[in-house]
Amino acid sequence: MSVVALVPAAGRGERLGYGMPKALVPVNGVPLLTRAVRGLFASGQVQHVVIAAPPSDVDLVHTATASLAPAGGAVHVLSGGAERTDSVRLALDHALRVIPDTSIVLVHDAARAFTPPEVIADVVAAVRDGHDAVIPVLPVADTIKQVDEVGVVVSTPDRAALRVVQTPQGFRAETLRAAYHSGIAATDDAGLVEKNGVAVHTVPGHAHAMKITTPFDLAVAAALLSGGQQ
Ligand code: CTP
Ligand code: MG
């Protein structure tokens, strides 16, 4: 029974503004996508990685990542879609077609390139323990306000009950397949599963699993590395 990680990496990285797809942006000479894939395999729990690559860079990504798989595993690369959900759907359909023994599916953003392998292993372990859907989360540090369309505060949700969501998000393969074929739309994978009536379990996330979105985030990542992590 295989654990398969889908890696949406087809975004353009417009907010980063680096002039190339974000997944290919290097930190200390190693592209974010390479770091993300290394982390998945380093968890010791993932056999296959399916990358939804920028359409213009499928061959490049294939060459750069093929050697990262451990014995008995593989990296698969396909062209991503217009939106993140399209990329995940394409990668999921590919995985279910070419890896017939897929039992657990992770969805992990290439942009969360510094996620500790322990977090990845914890997500897989929780799915193995019987949870249909599992997400890593962090407590909310700031107070959150709900505002109306002109920016006036409507309410102040209780921060103690709020969580920031990271990836990898883990699912029983059939749970994610059913959600993606339900015709329901949602912006994140666990949200989609949740709308399909599935309970979503949480495990502790990690500050290093932050999403690289802006130049500030990239500077934080570079500082992390200069602090000793490679
Ligand atoms: N992604 C994808 N396919 C898309 C859009 C996004 O696979 N059509 C991926 C990105 O490559 C990234 C993850 O989804 O790993 C999260 O998206 P985001 O952080 O928004 O990345 P980008 O879309 O590249 O950034 P931006 O929105 O700033 O352009
Ligand atoms: Mg985006």
Q: Are 12 and 22 in contact (CB under 8 A)?
A: yes
pLDDT digits over 58-92, tens only? 999 999 999 999 999 999 999 999 999 999 999 99
Residue 228, pLDDT score: 66
Q: Which ipTM score applies to this complex?
A: 0.99
Give the integer Cα–Cα distance in Å for 185 and 65. Answer: 31
Pick from 109, 211, 216 the residue to mutate for probing ligand 1's pocket: most ligand atoms within 8 Å of its CB: 109
- The answer on pLDDT for 229 being more than 70 is no
Ligand 1 atom nearest 11 alpha carbon: 24
| pLDDT band at residue 159 using 50, 70 and 90 as cut-offs | very high
Give the integer Cα–Cα distance in Å for 143 and 145. Answer: 7
Query: Is the minimum distance from the CB of 87 to ligand 1 under 6 angstroms?
Result: yes
List the one residue out of 76, 73, 71 whose CA is nearest residue 47: 73
Q: For the ranges 107-111, 153-157, 180-184, 216-220, which has the lowest average pLDDT?
A: 180-184
pLDDT digits over 123-135, tens only? 999 999 999 999 9
Query: Is the minimum distance from the CB of 11 to ligand 1 under 6 angstroms?
Result: yes
Ligand 1 atom nearest 8 alpha carbon: 7
The CATH code belonging to domain 2-226 is 3.90.550.10
Query: Is the minimum distance from the CB of 109 to ligand 1 under 6 angstroms?
Result: yes
